[in-house]
Amino acid sequence: MDAKDFSQINIAENPVLSQMLAMGHEQIVFCNDEETGLKAIISIHSTILGPSLGGTRMWMYDNEIEALNDVLRLSRGMTYKNSISNLNLGGGKAVIIGDSRKMKNRAFFKKFGEFVNSLSGKYITAEDVGISPQDMSWVSEETKYVVGLPGKSGDPSPITALGVYMGIKACAKIQFGSDSLNGKKIAVQGVGHVGEYLVGHLAKEGAEIYISDIYQETLTRVSKKYKTHVVSPDDIYDIDMDIYAPCALGATVNDETLEKLKCSIIAGAANNQLKNEIIHGKAVMEKGIIYAPDYAINAGGVINCFSEVHELSREWALTKSEEIYQTIFNIVNRSKNENLPTYKIANMIAEERIKNVGIINFTK
């Protein structure tokens, strides 16, 4: 089985421990509190490189298996992201099962904070989907193992956008022979927190920018600020472009879009861009498109968290994010030399770093 291909394991038929064994997880904590209604799962994939760090996601999962599957996958992803970013952090993640619009209150998050604290720093939490800075403030009343608090390292989006911009330039250097983006046609899908900052960098360099978003107000705001062409969400895959920068949702690189995409680089902030890593990772390579692995190019957010954990300056985080240029350059170069998809090379580099520090079984 491929190192990251655990899709053949049917979680419904496997007890939790064998699932952990298959994916290499260290510890799973199931949290239940009747009084507040909190139901959460904290998953620590690896602490080999340091304490595990990853956000808490609150979502209406249909059932516990779905929640468990998500937290196992996400925490493992954090191990890879932290490793490839040369951060001394392991991979962890938490999920809270429930409706983030109805169930939130101080007692609920204080209880969650108690569970995080019971791990004595093996897991450091942060915001993710469905969680706000206010929620994390409540968590911090019970534990110091939390980052992304109001007044601390702040919004990670500018740092994430800088890293994505650097990663795009590294891909351009290899694909076009120069990392200048002047005159390059770049489509940014989603001009939210990261997308808007990215457009700012691209505009400064004189790129020809196409933007799409599902919110008209967002589009109007960004297109007033920067010289851009506005494209409807459905048409973005059809335009004549050099670079596609997905900064909205995952899985936009799939069978249908690959039929249409005319770009020669795919590099953006969105997580899980390849619908199926194995199939579409190979397909982009066969089409001659350079794909910047998402967890490597969008690591600015976790770099920001790391700077908060170690009380490092914003300048440190910005400089570290600029290093994403070299990380992406090395991945793409090695992919060309070894004739392997970039996602695979990224996984190999992340695994190698961990193997050099300790023993972890990624292949079972």
Per CB under 6 A, which region of 57-65, 66-74, 244-252, 330-338 contacts ligand NAD? 244-252
Q: Please confirm, yes or no, whether 93 is among the known catalytic residues.
A: yes
- Under the binding rule (CB under 6 A), the answer on residue 24 touching ligand NAD is no
Q: Which of 160, 161, 138 is nearest to 149 (CA)?
A: 138
CB of 38 vs ligand NAD, minimal distance in Å: 24
Question: What number of other Cβ atoms are within 10 A of residue 338's Cβ?
Answer: 11
- Under the binding rule (CB under 6 A), the answer on residue 266 touching ligand NAD is no
Q: How far apart, in whole angstroms, are the C-alpha atoms of residue 273 and residue 292? A: 10
- Under the binding rule (CB under 6 A), the answer on residue 190 touching ligand NAD is yes
Residue (20 or 301) nearer to ligand NAD, CB: 301
Residue (193 or 336) nearer to ligand NAD, CB: 193
- Under the binding rule (CB under 6 A), the answer on residue 55 touching ligand NAD is no
Compute φ and ψ for 146, nearest 5 degrees: -150, 140
CB of 54 vs ligand NAD, minimal distance in Å: 11
Query: Which residues inside 126-185 make contact with ligand NAD, applying CB under 6 A?
Result: 156-157, 160
Q: What is the DSSP string of 283-310?
A: HHHHTT-EE--HHHHTTHHHHHHHHHHT
Compute φ and ψ for 184, nearest 5 degrees: -75, 140
Residue from the set 105, 215, 314, 338 that interacts with ligand NAD by CB under 6 A: 215
Residues forming a β-bridge with 228: 209
Cβ distance 116 to 139 under 8 Å? yes
CB of 162 vs ligand NAD, minimal distance in Å: 10
Q: Which of 134, 68, 133 is nearest to 96 (CA)?
A: 68
- Under the binding rule (CB under 6 A), the answer on residue 194 touching ligand NAD is yes
> Could you say which of 4, 39, 81, 93 is catalytic?
93
Residue from the set 27, 88, 117, 271 that interacts with ligand NAD by CB under 6 A: 271
The end-to-end CA distance of the chain, in Å, is 7
Q: How far apart, in whole angstroms, are the C-alpha atoms of residue 25 and residue 107? A: 29
Per CB under 6 A, which region of 41-49, 93-101, 214-222, 311-319 contacts ligand NAD? 214-222
CB of 355 vs ligand NAD, minimal distance in Å: 25
Query: Which residues inside 280-309 make contact with ligand NAD, applying CB under 6 A?
Result: 298, 301
Q: How far apart, in whole angstroms, are the C-alpha atoms of residue 68 and residue 59? A: 12
Q: Which of 159, 91, 142 is nearest to 322 (CA)?
A: 159
- Under the binding rule (CB under 6 A), the answer on residue 187 touching ligand NAD is no
Q: Helix, strand or coil for residue 115?
A: helix
Cβ distance 268 to 295 under 8 Å? no
> What's the gap between Cα 354 and its chain centre?
19
Residue from the set 162, 270, 283, 289 that interacts with ligand NAD by CB under 6 A: 270
- Under the binding rule (CB under 6 A), the answer on residue 220 touching ligand NAD is no
- Under the binding rule (CB under 6 A), the answer on residue 214 touching ligand NAD is yes
Active site residues: 93
Q: Which residues bind ligand NAD (CB under 6 A)?
A: 156-157, 160, 189-195, 212-215, 218, 233, 247-249, 269-271, 298, 301
